[in-house]
Structure 1
Amino acid sequence: MFIKENLKMAIDSIFANKMRSFLTMLGIIIGIASVIAILAVGNGATDEITRTFNDIGATTISLNANDPDQSGDLISNEDLIVLRDSIDEIRYISPNETTSGNISSDDESRQAVISYGTPDLQFVSQSMSSTLVEGRYFNQVDFDESQDVVVIDEDGAEALFGTTDVIGETLRVTVAQSQMNLRIVGVVEGSFGDMQGAFDISQIPLFAAMPQSTLGNQVPQMAGMDSVSIEVESTDQIDAVSSQVVRLLELRNNTVGDNVYNATNFLQALDQVNNVLSLFINFIAAVAAIALLVGGIGVMNIMLVSVTERTREIGTRKALGATTRTILVQFLMESIILSLIGGMIGLTLGIILSNIIAGALDIVPIITLGSVALVLLFSTAVGVFFGIYPARKAARLNPIDALRYE
């Protein structure tokens, strides 16, 4: 009953001065709306970055070899076979090398990015899709026998032949002034279908993939490998597999302690990006939260004015038996309700604002239950913190002096 009565009196007081109450809450509304919008858009951006990294290979390890003083191949095909046979967690492993060149049919000729590796290149390549539209990918027999075969994307097939039905057609591939006549065995999904009309597609290089052994026979300087992509079953295995791969290669090639091999992964880059983004988001949110402090000062100011205006009311209530605690709770509750109403309005405004901003950035805003709870808790804390002093001042008024107040 005691709380219900104080709650009713606090609400009546707030609605008796609607404009003044709204202006008092304005700082809290702006602060809460800003913090919610920043956190929602920031979380959405972080999620979008994470999904992008997952799409480009969150379970992929990039193995690199670099030793200027070493002669011969730093990584051999035999090394890849041993790694795959020795480490069960490895799903796919292939050199993931690219070079620029020219590909042409009888009628058309275009610049191209040419990938080369083992048959597992289909699953670890970041430049071409692994989804086949026509035919097949080059296989282990093609690789072992250095067959003159090639896989192109459907954009290349359309550009050079006018159709994706090109299985068995001859594609002339020129790399480092060496020309090869290769038989097309497969067509994969293209990368530029969604870009039609955005700009001149003819200015974009096409993509092709071929066995490394085939390219190495024609261009000997490209027969070696110093960059290998490894895909594991799950992200939990990345660190362990990275360590095993480096250790095994060091033992096989007598390079222990020489730091020849280096295994990195997208999760490391993702962690760095997320850390930087989190720092930025938290900094901007902290700056926006300053508005909450301004709003809190506004609450304190208006409550002090309210205490002054209602001095005779306080004196009358005390003379009729209201205790110091009753007066304290009455004014403290009024301050908390002001802050909570401001917080709810700010929360609603922040949700609307975050959807508008996220829509413009083409991301999905993420508003977590934790963020909402934090906003409401912070609003309450502002009401309590900045309401204590006015409430204590009201509660300590001497009833005789209060009744004499004009």
Structure 2
Amino acid sequence: MTIRENFKMAVDSIFSNKLRSLLTMLGIIIGIAAVIAILSIGNGATSEITKTFNDFGASTISLSLSDNASTDATITDADINALKKSIPEITRISPDNTVTTTVQSDFESRTAVAFSGTTDLQYTNRSMESTLIYGRYFNQNDYDDAKEVVVITEDTATTLFNGRQNVIGEDIQLLSSAGNTVNLTIIGIVEGTFKELQGSFDLSQMPLFLALPLTTIEKLNPTLPLMNNLTVQVTDKDAIESVSNRMVRLLETRHDTVGENFYTATNFLQALDQVDSVLGLFVNFIAAVAAIALLVGGIGVMNIMLVSVTERTREIGTRKALGATTTTILFQFLMEAVILTLIGGILGLFLGILLANGISSALNIVPTITLGSVVLVLLFSTAVGIFFGIYPARKAAKLDPIEALRYE
């Protein structure tokens, strides 16, 4: 008997008992749908996180000074200048200094987050937008002379000045917990940090953001460690590892701390690799749990095939009496099991895609369905059919034709 004839007989057998076949495939359908949906949503979420990290700065390095470092290891302005001069791949570098304080105007007093650094802070500070709406950012003269100037977000402007945005030249005050006060003149307004969240959150509960020269924030708290962390942007993410190592070596040489491990350079690509690894393990674990449904479905296939063998005992006996070989009978029932699971796999695939699209839409992410995942899942469902179809097929093939013909 040819493969084509075996295939036709298997399909006829499956469709002659449509409801039973559908119920048999149900475990396969659910298992495949769950695996596809989980993999698609997991891959989509990973892509979103990767995009966020890339937007945040795939070519950004964070250099920090350890807590146990000696005073001699403190990073200085001279160190920053030496790093920029010695390592041409560095495009921008600024201390990453953040202080929670109170800011007040003639109209309002609110909690604020004050960022301070060099003139490069405009681009290295990821908590505030870099695009100016009014005025200018503080420059090198402002930094060198520790001028009492500040750049604020448009959210901060409207909150502190009764809805007005263009408040260039207005004055605000910063108050520290120690009681120190610094009067600042607003020289620039950047795009609002919470602009996209308007209508979703009560902006009155959000902190205000402002940026000023590192030399100016020192007046608020002279004992504040100002340069324990640097944010560095490089020309190319492929140069990150090289630049990180050279930065650490240069600082160790300048401060005579070689081997002390006072300086640590971390890049976002390393963090991204760790996030990808954790997400990959989590998604694969959940997918593996969902795949248990496939095994349950496989047991259902084996059960129904055993029932089918019992029901068709006389048919098997007749075919063997007419010359059908053991191999032919084995192949027929095995093909029937494979077709059953393959159809279930295809139905599960479409159901999984629908589920992935529905859930992803609710989570506002784009599901990622790879060709490799589709092929792998369909191969797995076929393998389930082969594995759980072997025993019933062998049982059918080994039936004695005389005993089979006597079966009632």
The Cα shift of 1:257 comes to 1.2
TM alignment of 1:310-321, pairs within 5 A:
310-321=312-323
For 1:167, the aligned partner's letter is I
Say yes or no: does 1:167 pair with 2:163: no
CA–CA distance in 1 between the matches of 2:115 and 2:335?
69
For 1:227, the aligned partner's letter is N
RMSD over aligned Cα, in angstroms? 2.0
The Cα shift of 1:20 comes to 1.0
Aligned position for 1:245: 247
CA offsets 1:21-53 (integer angstroms, 9 cap, x no match) = 111111111111111111112112222222222
The Cα shift of 1:285 comes to 1.4
CA offsets 1:152-201 (integer angstroms, 9 cap, x no match) = 00001111222221223233333453333322221111122233344432
CA change 1:25–1:118 in 2 (3 A) is same
Aligned position for 2:257: 255
TM alignment of 1:51-90, pairs within 5 A:
51-66=51-66, 68=68, 70-71=70-71, 74-90=74-90
CA–CA distance in 2 between the matches of 1:295 and 1:370?
22
The Cα shift of 1:67 comes to 5.2
More off after superposition, 210-219 vs 227-236: 210-219
Q: Give the length in aligned residue pairs.
A: 406
For 2:394, the aligned partner's letter is R
Say yes or no: does 1:343 pair with 2:340: no
More off after superposition, 214-223 vs 197-206: 214-223
CA–CA distance in 1 between the matches of 2:5 and 2:172?
87
Provide the secondary structure at the position in 2 that maps to 1:168: coil
Provide the secondary structure at the position in 1 that maps to 2:71: coil
CA–CA distance in 2 between the matches of 1:384 and 1:286?
20
CA–CA distance in 1 between the matches of 2:263 and 2:136?
33
CA change 1:79–1:323 in 2 (3 A) is same
More off after superposition, 244-253 vs 255-264: 255-264
Provide the secondary structure at the position in 2 that maps to 1:186: strand
Indicate conservation of the 8 Å contact 2:357/2:367, yes or no. Answer: yes
Structure 1 alignment gaps of length 5 or more: none
The Cα shift of 1:372 comes to 0.6
Provide the secondary structure at the position in 1 that maps to 2:183: strand
Indicate conservation of the 8 Å contact 2:317/2:403, yes or no. Answer: yes
TM alignment of 1:166-245, pairs within 5 A:
166-175=167-176, 176-217=178-219, 219-222=221-224, 224-245=226-247
Provide the secondary structure at the position in 2 that maps to 1:129: coil
Indicate conservation of the 8 Å contact 1:216/1:223, yes or no. Answer: no
Aligned position for 2:100: 100
Structure 2 alignment gaps of length 5 or more: none
More off after superposition, 380-389 vs 40-49: 40-49
TM alignment of 1:230-379, pairs within 5 A:
230-379=232-381
CA change 1:178–1:301 in 2 (3 A) is same
CA–CA distance in 1 between the matches of 2:205 and 2:295?
55
CA change 1:221–1:241 in 2 (3 A) is same
CA–CA distance in 2 between the matches of 1:109 and 1:184?
16
Post-superposition, which runs of at least 4 consecutive aligned residues in structure 1 deviate over 4 A? none
Aligned position for 1:153: 153
CA–CA distance in 2 between the matches of 1:222 and 1:213?
11
Aligned position for 2:403: 401
The TM-score normalised by the length of structure 1 is: 0.94
Aligned position for 2:30: 30
Between the aligned residues of both structures, percent identity stands at: 64
Provide the secondary structure at the position in 1 that maps to 2:168: coil
Provide the secondary structure at the position in 2 that maps to 1:247: helix
Aligned position for 2:123: 123
Indicate conservation of the 8 Å contact 2:73/2:255, yes or no. Answer: no
Aligned position for 1:48: 48
The Cα shift of 1:243 comes to 1.1
Indicate conservation of the 8 Å contact 1:312/1:402, yes or no. Answer: yes
CA–CA distance in 2 between the matches of 1:272 and 1:73?
30
The Cα shift of 1:357 comes to 2.1
CA–CA distance in 1 between the matches of 2:206 and 2:196?
14
Indicate conservation of the 8 Å contact 1:152/1:188, yes or no. Answer: yes
Provide the secondary structure at the position in 1 that maps to 2:298: helix
For 1:214, the aligned partner's letter is T
CA offsets 1:319-375 (integer angstroms, 9 cap, x no match) = 223222222221111111000011011111111122222223222221111111111
Provide the secondary structure at the position in 2 that maps to 1:259: coil
The Cα shift of 1:273 comes to 2.8
The TM-score normalised by the length of structure 2 is: 0.93
The Cα shift of 1:217 comes to 4.8
The Cα shift of 1:300 comes to 1.2
CA–CA distance in 2 between the matches of 1:78 and 1:361?
48
The Cα shift of 1:405 comes to 2.3
Indicate conservation of the 8 Å contact 1:110/1:205, yes or no. Answer: yes
CA change 1:73–1:164 in 2 (3 A) is farther
CA change 1:64–1:380 in 2 (3 A) is same
